[in-house]
Chains A and B, each alone.
Chain A
Amino acid sequence: MKERLFRTSRYLKKLLFLEITTSYSFPMIIGFFGIICILTGLSAMNIGFVPLLFGWDSEEPFNGVEDVQRYLGDFSFRRGLILSESFTYSLLALSFLIPLIIAFNLSRMLEDGTMRTILSYPVERTRYLTIKISLVTTLLYILVLSSTIFWMYFWYPLGIGVDNMTLLLASSFVTLLMIVSSTTFLAVLTKNMFRTAIIGASFWGSISYLIETTTDAVPFVIVQLVSPFRVLKIYLAGYIMDINLIDVYLSLAGSVFISLVFMLLAVIIFRRTEV
């Protein structure tokens, strides 16, 4: 048993190494660096400008210390909103970027023969794809977190407790997983870099935009399943004061289930994919 575990972990390490060396070369690294800059910039924009927009009424004349105090009061009240907005823009940007990354990282390899070479080595398809999905999800999540954490280093939102923060992190991870798994499914289905990029980016870009901008137009159950992060954000932003944890847990469970279904379908198709 111990020996078997050791061999499996060694094999997984090899696959991880293979994935890093074959997929994360120069353009991908530059791409990821670009993403972290975009996300950090978006977070900066939110943290810097959202409080100003909400906290200052330009109709009224500036009234010295009182206005500053009012502004600080509003600022404190809207900490939840600001933090979640920071995540929101990160995820909105990623809903466009993830299909591009997976198109480059998976569809391109299926198209140009790289995958043929890799699968000619002693590499098991299911494990290889699982490693691929896990690595890209983890890296992207680290990027989302790092851009937010970068700003939290300067300012921590005291209004949000550890429990809610944990839920926020979990929900953003599951939302990310949902986008990655569905796009992976699309990539193995089409085996075409441009189709994956265009269909994936259009689909997830529109969905994310719709959910963010037209809350009432999209049925809540769909929001729950597609974006648990949005559900939690609605609470944290102060739209609904009492968090209904059942809603949040259902949303997380539903999205994890859908993500797993997409991953399973992607693996089944990938196992039969002719390269």
Chain B
Amino acid sequence: MGLPIIQIQNLSKSFGSIDALKGISMNVDKGIFGLIGPNGAGKTTLFRILLNLITPNTGSARIFGLDIVKDSLQIRKRVGVLHERPIYLPSLTPLEYLSQVSKIYDKQRDPHELLEMVGLENAKKRPIGHLSAGMRQRLGIAQSLMGCPELILLDEPTSNLDVSGKSQVLDLIIRIHEELGTSFLISSHVLSELQKICTGLAFLGNGKLLEQGNIAEIMERYSKDRIRIITSDASKLADILRDVSWAENVRVTGISTVIVTSSLDLESVRSSVIDISNHQSIDVFNVGMATDLVDIYTEVFGDEGTSL
């Protein structure tokens, strides 16, 4: 693996008394990288700093080895962007809009080719105001590809989309990465989406970087001792497990889900839980390793990620 495409050193940013970013340092490698965190975690602020739209209070960052402040223009020639809830002129057609955007770049793609790539060739002459939210989002991705970028920043690309729209956008991102080799930095507060497409992830909570790495590493790091129990009464089972010697860090993460950390192997835990459930008249439907990133995020970063 070569040099990271994004290098961030101790970035801080505050808006009045609110600290949006608190000394973030991280590297982003080529590929599809996800930035996950709840609303207000600092994801959009980080994007805006990387594009030199706002100035950090402290710290520095480099993209392709170029300084984000001094070499911003050079960076923006090589980076495509889709902001959250982009503004379009509703009377323009996708083809007209992309033709306008293409004029800004020295090196640009053919608007027709891009519309075909994002599946909007049949809607290219329809006013943008008449397009669905998913189509507008795909148009946004098309415009971000206009300058033949090596990296695309997508801020909440699936927000306000229905299930089908989300799926189309995620598939498109994967296809673009595979066909064109473009890297992506994607922010989202929906981890399950990023889990499907990203090779690397960073968890951001309350302006702090909570964890970073590739998905396999993070799963390995956090899920080996963590067991998920699906039950009919999660809170009752959790109360019981808190008094059991092998169970540590017992947490209820849903109406029917209990996550527990244990040094015992899975089989021993399973038999013990079934034993308890039989005595306490609680149904236990499943006992397995908690290998889902959502569980890891909720369990390990839940408090800091949402409430701090």
User: Within the assembled complex, what's the spacing in Å between the Cα atoms of A241 and B173?
Assistant: 74
Q: Specify which chain B residues have a CB less than 8 angstroms from the CB of A113 in the assembled complex.
A: 83, 85-87
Determine if A275 is an interface residue (Cβ-Cβ < 8 Å). Answer: yes
Q: Please tell me if the beta carbons of A26 and B91 are within 8 angstroms of each other in the complex.
A: yes
Q: Please tell me if the beta carbons of B83 and A116 are within 8 angstroms of each other in the complex.
A: yes
Q: Specify which chain B residues have a CB less than 8 angstroms from the CB of A121 in the assembled complex.
A: 76, 101, 104-105, 147
Determine if A134 is an interface residue (Cβ-Cβ < 8 Å). Answer: no
Q: Specify which chain A residues have a CB less than 8 angstroms from the CB of B101 in the assembled complex.
A: 121
Known: A116-B53, A116-B83, A119-B53. A14 touches B103 (CB 8 A): yes
Q: Please tell me if the beta carbons of B76 and A122 are within 8 angstroms of each other in the complex.
A: yes
Determine if B73 is an interface residue (Cβ-Cβ < 8 Å). Answer: yes
Q: Please tell me if the beta carbons of A123 and B55 are within 8 angstroms of each other in the complex.
A: no
Residues of B within 8 A of A (CB): 48, 51, 53-55, 73, 76-77, 81, 83, 85-87, 89, 91, 100-101, 103-105, 147
**Who on chain A is nearest to B79 by CB?**
A120
Q: Please tell me if the beta carbons of B87 and A122 are within 8 angstroms of each other in the complex.
A: no
Q: Please tell me if the beta carbons of A123 and B91 are within 8 angstroms of each other in the complex.
A: no
Determine if A163 is an interface residue (Cβ-Cβ < 8 Å). Answer: no
Q: Please tell me if the beta carbons of A122 and B73 are within 8 angstroms of each other in the complex.
A: yes
The one of A21, A25, A120 in contact with B81, judged by C-beta atoms closer than 8 angstroms, is A120
User: Within the assembled complex, what's the spacing in Å between the Cα atoms of A21 and B97?
Assistant: 9
**Known pairs A117-B81, A123-B76 / 17 extra A-B pairs, C-beta < 8 Å:** A17-B100, A17-B103, A21-B103, A25-B89, A113-B87, A116-B83, A119-B51, A119-B53, A120-B53, A120-B83, A121-B101, A121-B104, A122-B77, A122-B147, A123-B104, A272-B55, A275-B54
Determine if A164 is an interface residue (Cβ-Cβ < 8 Å). Answer: no
Q: Please tell me if the beta carbons of A274 and B54 are within 8 angstroms of each other in the complex.
A: yes
Determine if A247 is an interface residue (Cβ-Cβ < 8 Å). Answer: no
Nearest Cβ on chain B to A48's Cβ, whole angstroms: 38
**Who on chain A is nearest to B97 by CB?**
A21
Nearest first, the 4 A-B pairs at minimum CB distance are A274-B54, A120-B81, A122-B77, A122-B76
Q: Please tell me if the beta carbons of A120 and B103 are within 8 angstroms of each other in the complex.
A: no
Interface residues of A: mostly helix, strand, loop or mixed? helix
Known: A17-B103, A274-B53. A120 touches B76 (CB 8 A): yes
Q: Which of B54, B87, B101 has the most CB of A within 10 A?
A: B87
Q: Specify which chain A residues have a CB less than 8 angstroms from the CB of B87 in the assembled complex.
A: 112-114, 117
Q: Specify which chain B residues have a CB less than 8 angstroms from the CB of A14 in the assembled complex.
A: 103-104
Nearest Cβ on chain B to A128's Cβ, whole angstroms: 11
The one of A18, A25, A116 in contact with B104, judged by C-beta atoms closer than 8 angstroms, is A18
Determine if A57 is an interface residue (Cβ-Cβ < 8 Å). Answer: no
Q: Which of B89, B104, B147 has the most CB of A within 10 A?
A: B104
User: Within the assembled complex, what's the spacing in Å between the Cα atoms of A272 and B104?
Assistant: 22
Q: Please tell me if the beta carbons of A117 and B86 are within 8 angstroms of each other in the complex.
A: yes
Per-residue CB proximity of A80-122 to B under 8 Å, as 1/0? Answer: 0000000000000000000000000000000011101101111
Within 8 A of B (CB), among A102-151: 112-114, 116-117, 119-124
Nearest Cβ on chain A to B51's Cβ, whole angstroms: 5
Q: Specify which chain B residues have a CB less than 8 angstroms from the CB of A272 in the assembled complex.
A: 55
What are 6 A-B contacts with C-beta separation under 8 Å?
A: A14-B104, A113-B86, A116-B48, A117-B83, A121-B147, A272-B55
Q: Please tell me if the beta carbons of A275 and B91 are within 8 angstroms of each other in the complex.
A: no
Q: Specify which chain B residues have a CB less than 8 angstroms from the CB of A274 in the assembled complex.
A: 48, 53-55
Q: Please tell me if the beta carbons of B100 and A21 are within 8 angstroms of each other in the complex.
A: yes
Q: Specify which chain A residues have a CB less than 8 angstroms from the CB of B100 in the assembled complex.
A: 17-18, 21-22
User: Within the assembled complex, what's the spacing in Å between the Cα atoms of A115 and B83?
Assistant: 11
Q: Which of A17, A18, A116, A121 has the most CB of B within 10 A?
A: A121
Q: Specify which chain A residues have a CB less than 8 angstroms from the CB of B77 in the assembled complex.
A: 122
Nearest Cβ on chain B to A142's Cβ, whole angstroms: 23
Q: Specify which chain B residues have a CB less than 8 angstroms from the CB of A114 in the assembled complex.
A: 87
User: Within the assembled complex, what's the spacing in Å between the Cα atoms of A154 and B54?
Assistant: 54
Q: Specify which chain B residues have a CB less than 8 angstroms from the CB of A17 in the assembled complex.
A: 100, 103
Q: Specify which chain B residues have a CB less than 8 angstroms from the CB of A120 in the assembled complex.
A: 51, 53, 76, 81, 83
User: Within the assembled complex, what's the spacing in Å between the Cα atoms of A123 and B77?
Assistant: 9
Nearest Cβ on chain B to A113's Cβ, whole angstroms: 5
Q: Please tell me if the beta carbons of A122 and B104 are within 8 angstroms of each other in the complex.
A: yes
**Who on chain A is nearest to B101 by CB?**
A121
